Amino acid sequence: MDLFEYQGKQYFSRFGIAVSPGDIADTVDQAVEVADRVGYPVVVKAQVKVGGRGKAGGVKLAQDADEVRLHAGNILGLDIKGHVVHRVWIERSSEIAKEYYASFTLDRPNKVHLGMLSAQGGVEIEVVAEKNPDAIAFLSIDPVRGLDLATARRWVDEAELDQPAREQAAELLVKLYDCYTTGDCDLAEINPLILTPDGNVHALDAKVTLDENASFRHPEWEEFRATETEDPREKMAKEKGLNYIGLDGTVGIIANGAGLAMSTLDVVNQVGGTAANFLDIGGGANADVMASAMEVINSDPKVKVIFVNIFGGITLVDEVAKGVLEALGRVSISSPVVLRLDGTNAVEGREILAPHLSDKLMMEPTMLDAARRAVAFANA
């Protein structure tokens, strides 16, 4: 789960990481109120989960209430790469002497944690990595041993942060690592981490991705979940406990297993169609799950056809077939449905559906055939 910048900063604060004082606002009036409270000058920052906000006009400096009114008015409702701004973060403007970069993430190939620290912050780290890889100090951290202050001190020396920043930065990095590990982040990134002219180090931005597998030990994540997605289809799927990702195409997809669901998207694409979603109904799917899945896909106005792709392993295909019938009886489905059923008890499953086949409910013997048929409907 990706957090908004303001949520990331609030999360950082819990671990003692210094951020600029500020607050959120959903309206122009609120923005002025917050700005009056934190003190001018302030920065008005669009809260969207996409990079390049500054270039899109989503980050503005305001010297007084009139400027806050002007900028907040322009930014709220602004479309940044398809993300509409509904909320801004107002914070006290910081004077910047230097901009650094710091992050922790999992080094998957080596199965350890990877810290990245650079004295060249404020730009995308991918760009630094490409143009000047020596400007990044990489640190491999054994997850069993963790990161101590002595190592963090050597690390800031190696990254050649400015002398006045080093001790504070080392302390902040230990806190950021704590946030990353005990806070169960997939990514904890600060860009830029700044040094102010009066010698203070703090986080001017926050990019945090939480590991949803750890939700069971973080009840406090509930508030982040409420703002997680704007997509009404994803909201509905989430309420129904489905593993759903909304996409832009016209072929609605239901499959069992993440790999098969991904593969179904690919095959639809290969035969000239576009998927409307990713949806994995998981193992042992019953009629309820199938009905919920069909309901969510049916709510998508772009969907022209539903492709159900099932390979029974532990999931029994005859159970899936019963589920499809029950779902069709329970939910009024506007699009035609193309099925491909294979694996355990596939023969029984196909027999169950045979009497119900029509020009609205079709079955094909293979994944490719079914994809072609579905795409023919979608593109008709």
**Which residue is catalytic, options 11, 101, 177, 180?**
101
Q: Which tokens is 165 given?
A: 């920043």
CA distance 276 to 33: 42
Asked if residue 170 lies in contact with residue 149, where contact means CB atoms within 8 angstroms, the answer is yes
* Shortest distance, position 131 Cβ to another protein, whole Å: 15
CA distance 348 to 358: 19
Nearer Cβ to another protein, position 61 or 258? 258
* Shortest distance, position 70 Cβ to another protein, whole Å: 32
* Shortest distance, position 205 Cβ to another protein, whole Å: 17
Helix (H, G, I), strand (E, B) or coil at 260: helix
| Residue 315 CA neighbour count, 13 Å, CB half | 26
Q: Which tokens is 6 given?
A: 């303001």
* Shortest distance, position 130 Cβ to another protein, whole Å: 10
CA distance 341 to 312: 8
Considering only CA atoms, give the Rg of the chain: 25
Nearer Cβ to another protein, position 226 or 314? 314
* Shortest distance, position 52 Cβ to another protein, whole Å: 13
**Which residue is catalytic, options 189, 295, 319, 364?**
189
Chain positions contacting another protein, by CB under 8 A: 2, 106, 108-109, 111-113, 126, 142-144, 181, 184, 186, 211-214, 216-217, 243, 245, 247, 255-263, 265-270, 275, 278, 280, 283, 311-314, 342-344, 366-368
Nearer Cβ to another protein, position 95 or 266? 266
* Shortest distance, position 65 Cβ to another protein, whole Å: 37
Picking from 283, 253, 256, the residue whose alpha carbon sits closest to that of residue 265 is 253
- Backbone φ and ψ of 70, nearest 5°: -65, -55
Picking from 263, 270, 271, 317, the residue whose alpha carbon sits closest to that of residue 290 is 317
Residue for token digits 């099925």?
339
Nearer Cβ to another protein, position 196 or 243? 243
**Three-point CA angle 146, 149, 152, nearest 5°:** 80
* Shortest distance, position 180 Cβ to another protein, whole Å: 8
Nearer Cβ to another protein, position 64 or 231? 231
Nearer Cβ to another protein, position 198 or 216? 216
The contacts of residue 159 (CB under 8 Å, 6+ apart) are 100, 117, 118, 119, 136, 137
Based on the residue annotation, tell me whether 101 is a catalytic residue of this protein. yes
Nearer Cβ to another protein, position 61 or 368? 368
Beta strand segments in the chain, E: 22-25, 42-46, 59-62, 79-80, 83-84, 88-92, 98-107, 112-118, 136-141, 185-195, 201-203, 207-210, 243-246, 251-255, 277-280, 305-312, 337-343, 361-363
Picking from 157, 158, 153, 191, the residue whose alpha carbon sits closest to that of residue 173 is 153
CA distance 1 to 224: 8
- Catalytic site positions: 101, 189
